[in-house]
Every structure is written in C-alpha cells, then in structure tokens.
Structure 1
Amino acid sequence: MRTKIVLLFLLGWAGMFFGQENFNVKYRIYDKLGEYSLKKEVIKKYDSLSREQQKKIRDQYKIGDKLLVEDKIIINKNEVTTTREIIIDENFYKTLSYSETEEVKLCSVKYGNVKVEKNKLLVNLLLDGCKDHPVYFYELKNRKSPHLSFTSVTVSAITIPLKYRFKGNNGLGDEFSTEINGNLFVGYTYGKTTFFYQEEMETKINTWKITGGLLFGASSVKLDKSNSFIKPNQDLNIIEYVDATKGLASIAFGLTYSYNNINIGAFLGFDYAIGQYADLWKYNKKPWLGVGVGYKLFNF
C-alpha cells in the first residue's frame, strides 16, 4: 500500500496541469495597513490654498520677475519644444495648482484592484453605488512587505492522470487507474499577496491562495474481465465479459493550494459510466481520490 501511495504522488507530480483564469478578483482595502496609511493626491488651485501656502509661492515667484516657460507643441506629427518669456503678475498665480498628499479615512473595509508602480501600491476601489473614487495608494517602504488578502472566482482546466479507487463490498479491490481526461474546475478562492519593495529594484510579488469548488469532467474506460461483472446471459453455463470502451462523466469536490506557479490539488469524486452495460463496470458510481502537484508554465 505504501508503494502505491508513493507512486500516486510521483505520477501526480508529473501529470497534474492547470490552465487557470481568475474572475472578479477583489482585494480587501484598509485605510490602515499595519504601518502603512492609505493616501491620495489632492490638486488644489492657488485660490484654495492657505495664506501660508500662498505666501510661500509669492516669495518664490515675485511680481515683476521674468520666467522662461517651455511649451511642447505638435507640428506635422513631430513634437517641438518652444521657449517664451513671461512676466509674473496676479494672473500668473491663478494658473498655478498645488499638489499635496492626504491620508484617506474609510468608514469600513472596501474592495478594489491593485497595481505596483515605482514606490507605490496603487489602489482602484470598486464602485460603491454611483460614487466614483480617485486612485488611492500605499507608499511602499524599502525592504518592507505589506500584504493584502483577496477573493475571486476561479475557473481552471485540469487533467488528473491518476486516480485511486477505494475498496468496496463483495471483494471489490482498490485500483489505481491512469487515463486521459479533461476537467473543468470552478471554485471560490481566498488568498493573500505580499509586495516586497526594494528601492531601485523590481518589487517582488508573491501570492498564495486556496480554492474550493466542484470539478466536472469526461474520460473513458476500457471494460474487461478485470474491472467488470459477468455479462447477463440466458444460458447460465456461458460466462462472458463485456469488451468495450465506455464514456465516463465525472463530478468531484476539490481543494487546491497554489503558491505563485506551484499547484497542489486533491479531489474526491465519482465516475458515472454511460451507455449499454455501464452498470457492469465495478467502479461505476464508486468514489475515487485524485491527488497531484504541478507547475504552471504558462498563464492563460
């Protein structure tokens, strides 16, 4: 039995393949994420600034001073830079805008999508009714690893090359079967993504997730003396077995764990033979266990 289990593991490692799509991915967004605060950039016109901020600008750009201003224009589909001189007056201040960062206060946990851009983890919240949201961000810190949890609906194309069928009544023995099969796995996913930021280097993103769901599949089985009952015959003296290939419809409950491109899955299911003499297959409607480990080489 121990040898069979080892064989099951090795073949599962070699032959469980995933083609996976995630839908409706939603990260949980908090205004406070450990030592990180959710922030936003606010653009203010000169007239809305405080007196102190206005004075700071006036001290830097004084009325009567001359400035060289660069303008970029398109001429015959080519970008051309031109320079002009202006004299600072009151109208000049009205054209200025001021950018500052503010912390965001959320009344509750929100959901959204995220993206890394330089030293920021950008957050685009899902629309809440008719309310629109600006793009928020967490400012990443060197050699720190903030993490966000998420949920999604996962649809995977999976093949399970090896199944273990359990022992049953009336001397039904256990069986390891290898077969070509195609399966669709639909489930609900919970996971967590870690963003490891290093200044002047690429941010490393690691994700683990657990998915539970249902598997639907199709395959075939060759009926013979070893895996089927005696074929019904009016002449009781004649012992005859079915020699035919039958289609199988599969349904299973599955649980998979993924870390980046490494996938581990376990499935408990049932196969239903289709067609004439389907009930003669000894393992018809009997439970099986499929286990596998795979490495996803491609993203689908």
Structure 2
Amino acid sequence: MKKQLIFLLIIVSTFSSCGILQIAGKREFDNGFYIQKSNTEKSKVYVDVIDDSFHIHDTYLGTSKIMVDTNTYKTFPKEVKSNSFSKTSFKKYTFDIDFITIPLKFRLKEMDIPAQLNTNLNGALYIGYRADKYLIGYQSNHLGKAIRKLNHVGFSMGAFSGFGNTLMSPTNTNDRLQKEYDGIVWSKGVSSFLIANNFTVGLALGVDHLLDKNKSIWIYQNKPWLGLSVGLHLN
C-alpha cells in the first residue's frame, strides 16, 4: 500500500508539472475569441496566432453574428526593441468534456476502521465549465531588447460519473464477508481543477455505490470521500 501510494504520488506530480494531464493542464494561447482587458478597457477580440506573433483583431456585431475586423490588428511579437507595451489580459470560457481518474481517495473513519487512503483503478466522464486567463507582458533583457512573457491561470469545475473497483474484505464489511474480492463500484460527484502555468492540481468529492449483492454490508456504501483527480482533455 505504501509503495503504491509513493509511486502514484511521483507519477501524478511528474505529469502535473510537465503539463501532460490536459484537463487542467496549461492550454496554448491559440486562435479564437477572447475578452481582452488593457488598463480599464475591455472588449471582445479575435486572436490569430501566426508563427511567434499574436495578432489581435477587433470584433463587431454583424447582422446575425459577431464579425472580425480583418483590415486592422494589433501585434504582440515575440521580441521588440523597447518595452512600450502595457500588460494585457485575455479571458476565455469553454465547456469541458473529459475523461478523468481519481488515483487517491481519502475515506473518513467508519465504525472501528480508521481513516483510509485508497488507490484503486477507476475512470469517469467529466463535464464542466472552464475559465482561462492569459496575461501578456514584456521583460527587458541585458541586450536592450524586450521579450514577450505569457502567463496562464485557469479554473475548471464540473460533475463526473464513472466506474472503478474496490477491495471487498472482512475488514470493510464488519466481518460479514469471509473472502476477499475486487468489487465493481459506480462513482459520482463533483471535481475542480486549478492551473497556474505548468502547475496543476485537481480535487474531487464523491461517493461510491457497490454494484453487487454485498452493497448492504459494505461500510463505505454511499459514504463521501475526498480524492485527487487527474485526467485527459477530450474536446
């Protein structure tokens, strides 16, 4: 149990720091509509990423949809000779459909069984709402040039539902089960993810429902747990 826990913590920490877990990992500042804020001004713009430059187009309301001004745009190049740009933020709101897993589940004390930290195989479909904010600024270097800096923060929250397994034993059935086996559980709950550049952390609050005849004697049936959630972005 301890070896499994240490191994999972190393894997999760490594994947999170590298941005491999895409559901809450850093997303590229790519083409699309954003809410731009510079100083006190706020407007809806369209971002067109070409090579290393960000082209920012104004938008206007057409007959039936938002139109993009393709004639003029502001450019944020990767490098400029002097830092004449003020910091500008861009926000984007999207819906998420993702596959997640909860590698660690913390269960509260039940009867004479102390609090547990479980590592079971599971997977779930996650549907949520996500907000991303990108902050663009420039930092001068020793060569007298200003290099563009892009910082990203994000937050996602939603609900999940899926399946997993759990060890059934005399211990977690109040000695009413004589043999051990892996039971199938239906898991559901809510989860949230916080992103700051390449750092990602996800938390889940849920319940498990054992799907076989021993559900009435399982001490964790429908009992809440707190878990660490990670996942893969699908949409």
Distance 1:244 1:10 in 2: 23
| In 1: Cα distance, 2:192 partner to 2:5 partner | 17
Select between 7-16 and 137-146 the one with higher mean Cα deviation: 7-16
Q: CA deviation at 1:229?
A: 3.3
Alignment CA distance shift 1:264-1:113 (3 Å): farther
Cα deviation digits, residues 142-175 of structure 1 (max 9, x gap) = 544321122111233222211100124x445321
Contact 2:136–2:151 (8 Å) recurs in 1: yes
Cα distance, 1:253 vs. partner?
1.3
Q: Distance in 1 between matches of 2:59 and 2:9?
A: 40
Give the C-alpha shift of residue 19 in structure 1. 3.7
- Aligned mate of 1:122, from 35, 51, 56: 56
- The reply on whether 1:228 has 2:177 as its aligned counterpart is no
CA distance in 1, matches of 2:10, 2:209: 26
Classify 1:9/1:27 alpha carbon distance in 2 versus 1 (closer, same or farther; 3 Å): farther
2:151 to 194, 201, 206: 206
Amino acid at match of 1:20: I
Which residue of structure 1 lines up, in the alignment, with residue 18 of structure 2? none
Offset at residue 224 of structure 1 (A): 0.7
| Residue pair 1:151, 1:190 contacting (<8 A) in 2 also | yes
Aligned to 2:35: 28
Q: Considering only CA atoms, is the larger Rg found in Structure 1 or Structure 2?
A: 1
After superposing the two structures, state which structure 1 stretch, 240-249 or 251-260, moved more: 240-249
TM-score if structure 1 supplies the norm length?
A: 0.56
| Residue correspondence of structure 1 range 223-262 to structure 2 within 5 A | 223-231=168-176, 240-262=177-199
Offset of residue 198 of structure 1: 7.0
Q: CA RMSD in A?
A: 3.9
8 A contact 1:19–1:157 mirrored in 2: no
Q: Which runs of 5+ in 2 are unaligned?
A: 16-20
Distance 1:299 1:212, change over 3 A: closer
Aligned residue pairs, count: 209
Contact 1:262 1:293 in 2 (8 A): no
Pairing partner for 2:104 from 162, 174, 188 = 162
Superposed displacement of residue 26, structure 1: 4.5
1:70-89, aligned counterparts within 5 Å? Answer: none
Equivalent AA in structure 1 for residue 98 of structure 2: S
Aligned to 2:127: 186
Distance in 1 (CA, whole Å) between partners of 2:75 and 2:103 is 46
Aligned twin of 2:73: 137
For residues 12-48 of structure 1, the C-alpha deviation after alignment (integer angstroms, 9 at most, x for no partner) is 46337624398xx741146xx229x8xxxxxxxxxxx
Counterparts of 2:119 and 2:162, CA distance in 1: 15
Identity %: 22
Q: How many Å apart are 1:127 and its aligned residue?
A: 6.6
> 1:272 and 1:299 mapped to 2: Cα distance?
26
